[in-house]
């Protein structure tokens, strides 16, 4: 913070200068994360070594009640605090004194901060402001921007470097082709001169050949000068692309002079087969320090991964379900060396007898739904032992695990409610749609579901009746329900937002965030929005209207799903792979 707010000339009566700086103030100055914002600021309390005591009996101190920061008008104090990191306002200022702790209780301050983060030309939040979790929203947005805008910048630099290298290689290939054509033309000229020698005589032929030699030398000098002027970063990019091309071919087929292999005697050295001046290898681009990408070992699944789920409270465990009939649990503490633990059904060599399509969890209970028309229950607290098996009437397409009930949407148009503690677990079956139920979400009062029949419905669990059914122009495939808002993705790549207030399901907005195909996964929280699609992309957004896209990740195949927990992102990316993005530790 550029303003210096310390006033060393004004002291509280009866206290020496060294007594002014309390232990909490020293902690703030020593904290490397908050230091740049707070190291030049002196905080005053009513006692020399008593952090947490009120600065005054009033929540809004007047200028006469102290010196330093709190002697300023309260509006200026709150404006200054709005420039501090949200985490500092939430967890640090309350430890300094009560008056500064009260800053975090003022929703107007958080709304001011949110407006600065989202921009002035958007609406935030998209739904109702009543009861909105402003502090958590601002905290999530700041973390999201720090992580993913840096990641987007890194991706852009990496892509540009690759594009520059590709263009340079293509240019070198064109120049090489021109040189080969030039040699062919020279050979043709030689034949022509030989044929004309008898007609023109030896002296005339030598004169023509000498003029051609002078022109060739001049062309060579210009080419060498141009090659010497080549930018070092372009030459390095060429080297990187050449290395990647060799790696794609594989070591056995890689020609000599390619990458780190031997020199090509015809071209005069390794790495120069495209006629490019030898350059230092391109140093690896440094990834953003905020995030690390952890690709899970490929030894896990051998068919397409349909579903991923982060569990454990801190994103410490990832579960994946695949078309290879298996459910695999990954302990992410191992990072890239994580060992897959496959769950096996009783009497089976796999988890299910059909594709594993969906996953849900609550506490130590994990449920997996399959095309074999079963839901299998696993006890993660007992090493993933099978806890039970529920037979359904059709393939299970979506699950939601609530404290008192497990909900399943299936291909036969039904939503089934199960009590997993009972020997006969089926509690109730609902038929709210005319086609397969593709996605659902629930809480203790409502069930919201989307179907292939282009409808979205809301059911009141307490009243036992359907409250409303809306018809859309597309069908929903993925859904997230939290804090009275439903966010869902459809088959055309559009994001839909609904509000749920007093049993009324009301459309809020529709957003085109750049997806061109099925939205296969969505996660919405007060300050973040993640979407994945079969168009081979995953996007990270600020959840304003319209959403502000921070980063787009591109994959080699369609993205089948995502899961987010505590800032950790798991992606079912491509054919058989799962990758995790998490904050660097």
**Per-residue pLDDT tens digits for 383-436:** 999 999 999 999 999 999 999 999 999 999 999 999 999 989 999 999 999 999
Q: What radius of gyration, in Å, describes the C-alpha atoms of the chain?
A: 33
Strands (E), 404-475: 406-410, 415-418, 426-430, 437-442, 446-451, 455-460, 465-471
Name the H helices within 84-149: 86-91, 93-96, 98-101, 107-118, 134-144
> ∠ CA(42), CA(47), CA(48), 5° rounding?
60
Q: Is the pLDDT of residue 92 over 60?
A: yes
Structure token pair of residue 124: 């935030």
Q: Is the pLDDT of residue 570 over 90?
A: yes
Q: What is the pLDDT of residues 435-486, one digit of tens each?
A: 999 999 999 999 999 999 999 999 999 999 999 999 999 999 999 999 899 9
Least confident of 63-72, 151-160, 212-221: 212-221
What pLDDT sits at residue 121? 86
C-alpha torsion sign, points 133, 139, 142, 146: negative
CB burial readout 139-167, b (16+ within 10 A) else e: bbbbbbbbbbebbbebbeeeeebeebbbe
d(CA 375, CA 401): 12
What pLDDT sits at residue 584? 83
Q: Is the pLDDT of residue 495 over 60?
A: yes
> ∠ CA(508), CA(514), CA(515), 5° rounding?
90
Nearest to 356, CA basis, from 344, 345, 371, 343: 371
CB 70 within 8 A of CB 59: no
What pLDDT sits at residue 173? 61
Structure token pair of residue 129: 């402001």
Residue 581 CB burial class (10 angstroms; 0-12, 13-18, ≥19): buried
d(CA 138, CA 117): 8
C-alpha torsion sign, points 285, 286, 287, 292: positive
Q: What is the pLDDT of residues 346-360, one digit of tens each?
A: 889 999 999 999 999
The confidence band for 290, taking pLDDT boundaries of 50, 70 and 90, is: confident
What pLDDT sits at residue 160? 59
Q: What is the pLDDT of residues 360-370, one digit of tens each?
A: 999 999 999 99
What length does the chain have? 585
**Sheet of 406-410, strand order:** 396-401, 406-410, 415-418, 426-430
What pLDDT sits at residue 188? 46
How much is the pTM?
0.70
Least confident of 178-182, 271-275, 403-407: 271-275
Cβ neighbors of 569 (< 8 A, separation 6 or more) are 530, 562, 563, 580, 581, 582
Compute the average pLDDT of residues 497-521.
95
**Sheet of 504-512, strand order:** 476-482, 485-490, 494-501, 504-512
Residue 561 CB burial class (10 angstroms; 0-12, 13-18, ≥19): buried
Cβ neighbors of 343 (< 8 A, separation 6 or more) are 326, 327, 328, 329, 351, 368, 376, 378, 384, 386
Number of H helices and E strands in the chain, helices first, is 12, 28
């Amino acid at each position: 913070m550029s303003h210096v707010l310390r006033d060393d000339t004004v002291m509280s009566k009866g206290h020496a200068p060294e007594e002014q700086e309390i232990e909490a103030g020293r902690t703030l100055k020593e904290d490397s994360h908050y230091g740049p914002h707070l190291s030049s600021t002196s905080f005053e309390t009513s006692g020399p070594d008593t952090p947490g005591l009120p600065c005054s009996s009033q929540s809004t101190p007047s200028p006469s009640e102290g010196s330093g920061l709190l002697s300023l008008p309260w509006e200026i104090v709150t404006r200054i605090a709005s420039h501090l990191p949200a985490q500092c306002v939430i967890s640090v200022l309350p430890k300094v004194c009560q008056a500064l702790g009260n800053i975090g209780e003022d929703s107007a301050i958080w709304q001011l901060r949110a407006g600065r983060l989202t921009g002035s030309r958007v609406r935030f939040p998209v739904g109702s402001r009543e009861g909105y979790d402003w502090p958590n929203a601002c905290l999530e947005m700041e973390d999201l921007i720090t992580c993913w805008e840096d990641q987007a910048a890194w991706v852009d630099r990496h892509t540009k470097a690759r594009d520059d290298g590709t263009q340079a290689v293509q240019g070198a290939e064109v120049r090489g082709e021109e040189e080969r054509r030039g040699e062919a033309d020279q050979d043709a000229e030689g034949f022509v001169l030989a044929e004309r020698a008898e007609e023109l005589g030896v002296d005339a032929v030598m004169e023509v050949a000498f003029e051609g030699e002078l022109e060739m030398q001049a062309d060579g000098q210009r080419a060498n000068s141009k090659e010497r002027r080549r930018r070092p970063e372009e030459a390095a990019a060429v080297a990187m692309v050449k290395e990647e091309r060799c790696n794609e071919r594989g070591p056995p087929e890689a020609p000599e002079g390619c990458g780190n292999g031997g020199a090509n005697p015809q071209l005069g050295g390794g790495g120069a087969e495209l006629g490019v001046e030898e350059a230092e290898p391109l140093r690896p681009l440094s990834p953003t320090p905020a995030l690390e990408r952890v690709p899970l070992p490929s030894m896990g699944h051998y068919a397409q991964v349909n579903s991923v789920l982060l569990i454990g409270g801190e994103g410490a465990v990832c579960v994946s379900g695949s078309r290879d009939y298996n459910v695999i649990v990954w302990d992410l503490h191992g990072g890239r060396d994580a060992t897959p633990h496959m769950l096996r059904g009783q009497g089976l060599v796999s988890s299910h007898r059909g594709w594993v399509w969906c996953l849900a969890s609550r506490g130590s209970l994990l449920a997996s739904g399959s095309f074999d028309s079963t839901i299998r229950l696993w006890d993660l607290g007992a090493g993933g032992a099978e806890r039970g098996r529920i037979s359904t009437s059709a393939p299970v397409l979506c699950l939601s695990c609530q404290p008192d009930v497990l909900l399943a949407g299936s291909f036969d148009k039904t939503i089934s409610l199960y009590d997993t503690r009972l020997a006969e677990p089926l509690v109730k079956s609902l038929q709210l749609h005319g086609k397969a139920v593709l996605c659902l979400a629930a809480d203790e009062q409502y069930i919201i579901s989307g179907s292939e029949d282009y409808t979205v419905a809301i059911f009141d669990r307490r009243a036992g009746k359907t409250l409303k059914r809306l018809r859309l122009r597309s069908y929903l495939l993925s859904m997230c329900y939290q804090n009275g808002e439903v966010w869902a993705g459809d088959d055309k790549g559009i994001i839909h937002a609904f509000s749920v207030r007093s049993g009324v399901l009301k459309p809020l907005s529709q957003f085109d965030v750049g997806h061109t195909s099925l939205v296969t996964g969505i996660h919405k929280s007060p300050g973040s929005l993640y979407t994945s699609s079969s168009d081979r992309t995953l996007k990270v957004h600020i959840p304003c209207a319209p959403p502000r896209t921070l980063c787009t990740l591109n994959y080699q195949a369609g993205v089948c799903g995502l899961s987010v927990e505590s800032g950790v992102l798991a992606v079912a990316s491509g054919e058989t792979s799962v990758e995790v993005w998490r904050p660097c530790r």
